[in-house]
Structure 1
């Protein structure tokens, strides 16, 4: 699969699935042996199950998410994709903004991803 197609599918699926907290739809985007790092100083999650566990944990306490992913910027087998989420975090309006960097295999599955993000209280 072409990287641009894989990256757009990744962004579209994450956007839809995050909105519905659909962990299975998201983890279907990853190779069985994928590695994901969330933030630069956290230990990486190795394998699809560890990634699924992290995603499920990260949705804990979050409700009513509105999620947008930008058009991926693609170079070779990699893509950078910005995202923004407005949600209630344990009842508090919060905005999360970040970027995911993903490397894809020829089947269009993510084999390596890393996120950089920040949250702020929303005042809307």
Structure 2
């Protein structure tokens, strides 16, 4: 699968999966031994199962998410994709804005991803 197609599938699936808290759909995007780093000082999640556990944990306490992902910027086997989420976190409105950097294999699966994001209270 070409990287542009893989990256768009990644963005579309994450957008829908996050909106519906569908961890299985999201983790299907990752290679079995993929590595994901969320924020620069957290230890990486090293395997598809570890990534699934992290995503499930991330959804805890979150409700009514409205999620958007931008069109991917692609170069070679990698892509950068910005995202924004408006949700309730433990009943309080929160906005999260960030970017995911993803490297894909020839089958279009993510083998290495890294997120940078920031949250603010309220919706903007």
Fold in common (TM above 0.5): yes
> For 1:64 and 1:17, how far apart are their aligned partners in 2?
13
- Asked whether 1:91 is paired with 2:91, we answer yes
Gaps of 5+ in 1: none
Q: How does 1:25-104 map to 2 (within 5 A)?
A: 25-104=25-104
- Asked whether 1:21 is paired with 2:15, we answer no
SS at match of 2:4: helix
Aligned residues: 124
> For 1:67 and 1:3, how far apart are their aligned partners in 2?
22
1:122 Cα offset (Å):
1.2
Gaps of 5+ in 2: none
Q: Which residue of 2 aligns with 1:10?
A: 10
Conserved? CA contact 2:86–2:123, under 8 Å: no
CA deviation profile, 1:2-37 (whole Å, cap 9, x unmatched): 000000000000000100000000000000000000
Q: How does 1:104-123 map to 2 (within 5 A)?
A: 104-123=104-123
Root-mean-square deviation over aligned CA pairs: 0.8
> For 2:77 and 2:122, how far apart are their aligned partners in 1?
35
SS at match of 1:106: coil
> For 1:55 and 1:46, how far apart are their aligned partners in 2?
13
1:123 Cα offset (Å):
4.8
SS at match of 1:71: coil
> For 1:50 and 1:101, how far apart are their aligned partners in 2?
18
